[in-house]
Structure 1
Amino acid sequence: MAIRSSVSADISAEVIWVNSTDFKSTVKAVKIHQLLVEHLGYMDSSILEESERGEGVSLSVCDGETVKQMRDDYAWAKAQERNEATTEHHLSLAKDYLAQLYR
């Protein structure tokens, strides 16, 4: 069964997990993660895990105030990602993350 390319989030307590399913969605996840850290002040949790959905990644950020605020912040970052140019840095990070998990 094929997994659809997508980015999603699991949000609880003080952590947002940004999940991807393949390379294309991992690039988007990297961009969303960057927006959460650089523009909204979240702390990079420095945790990289295999995604439960396909061969993607799960990246985390922490230090959100409330679950509602974290949901709103994730929604903003996901919408903003579409307006952000994809750079070589984003592509390189996505490749590196996937290579670390799926050798």
Structure 2
Amino acid sequence: MALAVVATPHAAYAAEPAPVMLAVDSIAEVVGNIRIWMMGILAAWATLCLTVGFFRYTSGEPGEVEKGKLALRSAAIGYAGALLAPLLLTIVGEWVA
């Protein structure tokens, strides 16, 4: 009797397809993610410029001091860009939506 149960073929059923999971629900969420990444990248770059500029400025050599001032200016522009990124992306998000 046990042999008959094992030997009889059973119907094979396909599994139900998995539900589709969307990565984001709206354009606003995409813009928000871009805003976060842009602010992080700009802040990291500005911090690198600030560090390099500080070391060059404190080296004491006239040519390096000028390069240090330029790097510190670039850091200030980078931080300003990181602070303005939400505003710029909000404007772009309003154009798209």
What TM-score do the two structures reach when normalised by structure 1? 0.26
More helix by share: 2
More strand by share: 1
What TM-score do the two structures reach when normalised by structure 2? 0.28
